[in-house]
């Protein structure tokens, strides 16, 4: 039995599709001029280069926005633009996206052109105001679009329907990268092929924005990880150092779980400008200082997050009969509550809204799964909220604090009106194939690594083994919260399974038979290598 080939077949990867997936080609990239308004944006930037106009890149405080901002600062400098600066909004002051106040400040500083990254598609009034002040705007974005585009020079967004671009799920940094590729055809300074050194930023933003890792995204991340391993950026080198990430083995998981949280911590607690300063640093000593600052902020973020999470659990228990959780508290930093919402969803298997009470106004973040749209539930509460929006899995909302109870009732009524059933089943892992332990080998694990980068649209493979016998159970951790099981399958082969922060039903007793879902990995300890599984789910037979 060749488990690797079975997994490929289960994912529809056969024939040419198999070869193209296992060997992603950067040269198979799509023509950037197929994106809407790309020609208009390039013409405007060529004119700006000739006149050396003052340009402001208007970013966003998340990793997608920060990497896209850095990418354009880097590329425009290569093209010979001399007066380019960046504006990163503060989550606690401007909030997400363009604001009229920020536009007026940028205009007052003499900017003649604004390039947005990762925002701007719905910023009608802000772009109108920019035009009134004599400032042109080029939008590069990947979020939802309006029926009628705002009055910008160009709105480059693959989500628009009026274009022939073959792939719509680029991240914001991916759209900015397409602008660079288009500029290469009209301007000198960044020879064909040299733009590949920007792929470390493209990979970082693409993975952390959780867009699907297929098509152009897969190729950009696949090659971007190789660039990251050899990155020339002192900031990224320093960030990997403080996070304990070996550049030679950096992968998508490193970005999502080690480097990404440290980058995001700046915008969640203080200002994302700290993260941009690190990315743009040219002095290794300064870069290391900035990276250490981000690391310290991440430690503080985790401590504050734990406090909010524990308080939120106490509230959540009061609403155990609600299919949708709505919890709120004073002093719950709204830069962190989105993470808390995700953790509550994981714990209770329910869509969750977490709100910070800020006097008479409350601001919140929501997370969902399956067929329940947290954004649609907000729309069904229009008469109770001040602003709100997002998409099916994540959204934000602002409302009067006095309306929280009514909002809780409304979103739960909305959920019940949909008649959804078996939603929690959608959170369970789905196996690629069944496996006997004898076929779970180091060779298989090496083969599975060729499917990297893993992420949305290309999850790490999951194996299923039926009717295995529990030989031994070992509790681990300060609070005995982790479990290691020694298991034996019907062929007599044994395998260790490990689960961190395991749910109570994972603590099965020796002698019981179970069916398991797991991901195989190599455990290296004191010079010894062994195969073990990361236990994702089990059912007692």
For 211-270, the pLDDT digits (tens) are: 999 999 999 999 999 999 999 999 999 999 999 999 999 999 999 999 999 999 999 999
CATH code, domain carrying 355: 3.10.310.30
Is 38 part of any domain? yes
Q: Are residues 73 and 175 in the same domain?
A: yes
Using one digit for the tens of pLDDT, what is the confidence trace for 475-490?
A: 999 989 999 999 999 9
Is 81 part of any domain? yes
Is 305 part of any domain? no
Q: Torsion over CA of 315, 320, 321 and 323, rounded to 10 degrees?
A: 80
Q: Are residues 51 and 170 in the same domain?
A: yes
> Could you give the C-alpha distances from 298 to 261, 336, 351, 423, 540, in angstroms and in order?
7, 11, 26, 33, 39
Is residue 17's pLDDT more than 70? yes
Q: Are residues 440 and 394 in the same domain?
A: no
Tally helices (H) and strands (E) across the chain. 18, 16
Q: How far apart are CA 430 and CA 464, in angstroms?
A: 9
Q: Are residues 502 and 405 in the same domain?
A: no
Is 227 part of any domain? no
Is residue 43's pLDDT more than 80? yes
Q: Is the dihedral of CA 109, 113, 119, 122 positive or negative?
A: positive
pLDDT confidence bin for 94, thresholds 50/70/90: confident
Q: Are residues 357 and 498 in the same domain?
A: no
H-state helical runs in 451-523: none
Is residue 520's pLDDT more than 90? yes
> Could you give the C-alpha distances from 372 to 44, 61, 421, 426, 493, in angstroms and in order?
42, 27, 11, 11, 42
Name the one residue in this structure whose structure tokens are 């500083």: 109
Counted domains in the chain: 3
Work out the average pLDDT over 412-416: 97
- Burial pattern 158-177, b for ≥16 Cβ within 10 A else e, equals bbbeebebebebbbbbbbbb
Is residue 68's pLDDT more than 60? yes
Q: Are residues 46 and 184 in the same domain?
A: yes
Is 247 part of any domain? no
Q: Are residues 402 and 464 in the same domain?
A: no
Confidence (pLDDT) at 235: 98
Is 282 part of any domain? no
Last residue of a domain, one of 394, 424, 454: 424
Residue 271 burial (C-beta neighbours within 10 Å; 0-12, 13-18, 19+):
middle
Is residue 66's pLDDT more than 60? yes
Q: Are residues 417 and 465 in the same domain?
A: no
pLDDT confidence bin for 1, thresholds 50/70/90: low
Domain residues for the domain of 469 are 433-540
Residue 150 is encoded by which pair of tokens?
């705002």
Confidence (pLDDT) at 531: 93
Q: How far apart are CA 523 and CA 437, in angstroms?
A: 16
Is residue 529's pLDDT more than 90? no
CATH code, domain carrying 99: 3.90.1640.30
Name the one residue in this structure whose structure tokens are 């009061």: 318
Is 273 part of any domain? no
pLDDT confidence bin for 403, thresholds 50/70/90: very high
Q: Are residues 416 and 534 in the same domain?
A: no
Q: Are residues 412 and 470 in the same domain?
A: no
Last residue of a domain, one of 152, 177, 198: 198
pLDDT confidence bin for 36, thresholds 50/70/90: very high
Confidence (pLDDT) at 424: 86
How many Cβ atoms sit within 10 Å of the Cβ of residue 12?
A: 9
Of all residues in the chain, the percent with pLDDT exceeding 90 is: 89
Is 417 part of any domain? yes
Last residue of a domain, one of 176, 198, 220: 198
Is residue 144's pLDDT more than 90? no
Q: Are residues 414 and 444 in the same domain?
A: no
Maximum mean pLDDT: which of 68-72, 119-123, 421-425 = 68-72
Confidence (pLDDT) at 440: 95
Q: Are the C-beta atoms of 173 and 141 separated by less than 8 Å? A: no
Question: Which 3 state secondary structure label does DSSP give 277?
Answer: helix
Confidence (pLDDT) at 234: 98
Q: Are residues 335 and 368 in the same domain?
A: yes
CATH code, domain carrying 460: 2.40.50.460
What is the CB-side half-sphere exposure of residue 190 using CA atoms within 13 A? Answer: 26
Query: Average model confidence (pLDDT) for the chain?
Result: 95
């Amino acid at each position: 039995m060749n488990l690797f080939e079975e997994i490929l077949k289960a994912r529809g990867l056969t024939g040419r599709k198999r070869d193209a997936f296992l060997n992603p080609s950067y040269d198979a990239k799509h023509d950037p001029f197929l994106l809407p308004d790309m020609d208009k944006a390039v013409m405007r930037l060529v004119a700006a280069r000739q006149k050396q106009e003052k340009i402001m890149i208007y970013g966003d405080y998340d990793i997608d926005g920060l990497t896209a901002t850095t990418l354009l600062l880097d590329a425009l400098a290569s093209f010979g633009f001399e007066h380019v600066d960046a504006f990163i909004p503060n989550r606690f002051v401007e909030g997400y996206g363009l604001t009229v106040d920020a536009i007026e400040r940028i205009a007052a500083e003499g900017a003649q052109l604004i390039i947005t990254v990762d925002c701007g598609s719905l910023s009608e009034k802000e772009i109108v105001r920019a035009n009134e002040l004599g400032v042109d705007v080029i939008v590069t974005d990947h979020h939802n679009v309006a029926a009628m585009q705002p009055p910008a020079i160009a709105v480059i967004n693959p989500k628009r329907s009026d274009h022939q671009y073959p792939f719509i799920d680029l991240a914001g940094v991916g759209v900015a990268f397409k602008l660079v590729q288009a500029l290469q055809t009209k301007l000198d300074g960044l020879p064909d092929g040299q733009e590949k050194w920007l792929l470390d930023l493209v990979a970082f933003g693409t993975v952390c924005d959780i867009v699907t890792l297929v098509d152009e995204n897969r190729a950009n991340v696949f090659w971007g990880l190789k660039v990251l391993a050899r990155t020339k950026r002192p900031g990224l080198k320093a960030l990997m150092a403080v996070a304990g990430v070996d550049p030679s083995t950096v992968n998508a998981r490193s970005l999502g779980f080690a480097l990404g949280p440290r980058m995001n911590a700046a915008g969640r607690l203080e200002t994302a400008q700290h993260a941009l300063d690190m990315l743009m640093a040219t002095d290794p000593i300064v870069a290391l200082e900035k990276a250490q600052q981000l690391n310290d902020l991440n430690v503080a973020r985790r401590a504050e997050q734990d406090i909010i999470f524990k308080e939120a659990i106490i509230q959540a228990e009061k609403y155990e009969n609600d299919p949708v959780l709505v919890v709120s508290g004073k002093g719950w930093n709204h830069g962190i509550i989105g993470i808390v919402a995700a953790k509550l969803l994981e714990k209770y298997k329910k869509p969750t809204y977490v709100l910070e009470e800020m006097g008479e106004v409350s601001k919140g973040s929501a997370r969902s799964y399956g067929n329940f749209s947290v954004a649609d539930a907000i729309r069904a509460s229009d008469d109770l909220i001040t602003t709100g929006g997002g998409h099916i899995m994540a959204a934000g909302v602002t409302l009067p604090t006095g309306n929280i109870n009514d909002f809780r009732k409304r979103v739960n009524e909305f959920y019940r009106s949909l008649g959804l059933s078996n939603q929690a089943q959608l959170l369970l892992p789905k196996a690629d194939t069944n496996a006997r332990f004898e076929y779970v080998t180091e060779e298989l694990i090496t083969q599975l690594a060729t499917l990297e980068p893993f992420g949305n649209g290309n999850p790490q493979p999951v194996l299923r083994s039926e009717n295995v016998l529990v030989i031994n159970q070992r509790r681990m951790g300060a609070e005995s919260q982790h479990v290691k099981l020694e298991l034996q399958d019907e062929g007599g082969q044994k395998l260790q399974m490990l689960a961190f922060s395991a749910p109570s039903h994972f603590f099965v007793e020796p002698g019981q038979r179970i069916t398991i879902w797991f991901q195989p990995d190599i455990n290296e300890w004191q010079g010894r290598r062994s195969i073990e599984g990361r236990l994702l789910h089990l059912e007692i037979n």
